[in-house]
Amino acid sequence: MTQHIINHGFPVTFSHAGKFPIFQIPISKVSIFSVEVREYRDLAFYFWLLVFRICLLVFLEFGIWFLELATSSLEENKRLNFRCVYLCGMIATGRYNTLEIDRETSVGLFLVDDEGNDVLLPRKYYPESFEIGDKLEVFVYRDSEDRQIATNLKPFIEMHRFALLQVKSVGPMGAFLNWGMEKDLLVPFAEQHTRMEEGNWYVVYLELDDVTDRLFATSKIEKYLENEYLRVEKGDEVQVMVYSESPLGYSVIVNQVHQGLIFKNEVFGELAMGAELKGWIKQVRNDKKLDITLQPQGYEHSNEPNAQQILTKLKQAGGSLPYGDKSNPEAIYEVFGMSKKAFKKAIGLLYKNREIEIEEEGIRLRSEIED
């Protein structure tokens, strides 16, 4: 049985010959996504062609992302992870998210992103005042029941960052760190550089398990540092964090990205693990390793603040101090916070400017001598 009907000016055959009815349109030429299609008769073909083209576009987009991920540096990978979250339409775990208040329930506020994905903000984390439609910046993580949850608590560490945290307890799965959240942060035994002990402090890195979407910390620091693509050069001022000590010196994290070393002869005294300091790039080696100094580079840059500090100390001491060329380096560092080499350069500058006199017993302000 075949019926002929008129649909939008085209003769359409409606056949019951098969199990399912088939629409057939004799069209001589159709253009879909700039692909010329001639004499297609089945509407089902148009539908599957459209589905194929959409799937192809999505596949190409993710293919480009995976290619970039495989060939980029570690720091670029962190940026591309944001893109993956965007493509997958997810609220990012382990990061701050700006979300809109969608609705209020008995358990709390449900916040949504631009894609309509929602997450619960429990009542105990309510802002002082709010209205439906307001935007809130919240930190998202997984609670003790492994549910994605929003909070206004401020974590001690953020995703893909390093921080010094204390071990709260040790269990069968690993060590648990206090990071400012209600649920402690796990460091699995496999991610511990050395076996962690309760009460001790460790420098760790916050990472996300892509399979389970769970946050975890690791003390295998160097796995997450990269010097292949340096963003610093000789003389740059940088922020460093001490994470280990060796006979050679102190290994440091440079600007939360690179690995550097402060040689022992650059430091007078002990540097605590996790100490955050201001430093300068002293040298970039051929293998891209970074030598760090805690003193500014260059005569003018290093001596002006050092000289001013010595003058301040002299005035506080009444005009004279028992330190000079023959003084012990450790004593100089303890009093002035600089190396003996930097101290000698600074008092040389002050002597040249006729601000001090260098005597056998130490240094003295010229104003004291003239008086």
Share of the chain above pLDDT 90, in %: 46
pLDDT for res 297: 66
Domain with residue 108: its CATH number is 2.40.50.330
Residue 212 has pLDDT above 90, yes or no: no
Residue 324 has pLDDT above 60, yes or no: yes
Q: Are residues 199 and 235 in the same domain?
A: no
Q: Are residues 1 and 64 in the same domain?
A: yes
266 domain residue, yes or no: yes
* Strands of the 201-208 sheet, one edge to the other: 185-188, 174-178, 162-170, 201-208, 215-218
Specify the pairing of strand 237-245 against strand 276-284: antiparallel
Domain with residue 234: its CATH number is 2.40.50.140
**Looking at the 3D structure of the chain, how many domains does it have?**
5
Q: Are residues 269 and 316 in the same domain?
A: no
185 domain residue, yes or no: yes
pLDDT for res 333: 83
Chain CA centroid to CA 46, Å: 47
219 domain residue, yes or no: yes
To which H or E segment does residue 311 belong?
helix 299-316
Residue 339 has pLDDT above 60, yes or no: yes
Query: 166 is in which domain, residue-wise?
Result: 162-223
Neighbours of 358 (CB within 10 A): 15
Residue 177, amino acid: L
Take residue 273 and report the two structure tokens written for it. 């693990």
pLDDT for res 156: 96
Take residue 250 and report the two structure tokens written for it. 């102190």
State which of 190, 205, 223 marks the end of a domain. Answer: 223
Residue 251, amino acid: S
Domain with residue 351: its CATH number is 1.10.10.10
Specify the pairing of strand 258-263 against strand 290-293: parallel
Residue 29 has pLDDT above 90, yes or no: no
Q: Are residues 182 and 123 in the same domain?
A: no
Q: What is the pLDDT of residues 39-97, one digit of tens each?
A: 445 566 667 777 787 887 777 766 665 555 554 444 444 444 444 444 444 788 889 99
Residue holding tokens 């992103």?
Answer: 113
Q: Are residues 204 and 235 in the same domain?
A: no
56 domain residue, yes or no: yes
341 domain residue, yes or no: yes
Q: Are residues 53 and 117 in the same domain?
A: no
Check: CB of residue 362 under 8 Å from CB of residue 331: no
Q: Which residue spans within 287-371 are E strands per DSSP?
A: 290-293, 320-321, 356-358, 363-365
What is the distance between the alpha carbons of residues 349 and 346, in angstroms, rounded to a whole number?
5
Q: Are residues 5 and 55 in the same domain?
A: yes
156 domain residue, yes or no: no
Residue 153 has pLDDT above 90, yes or no: yes
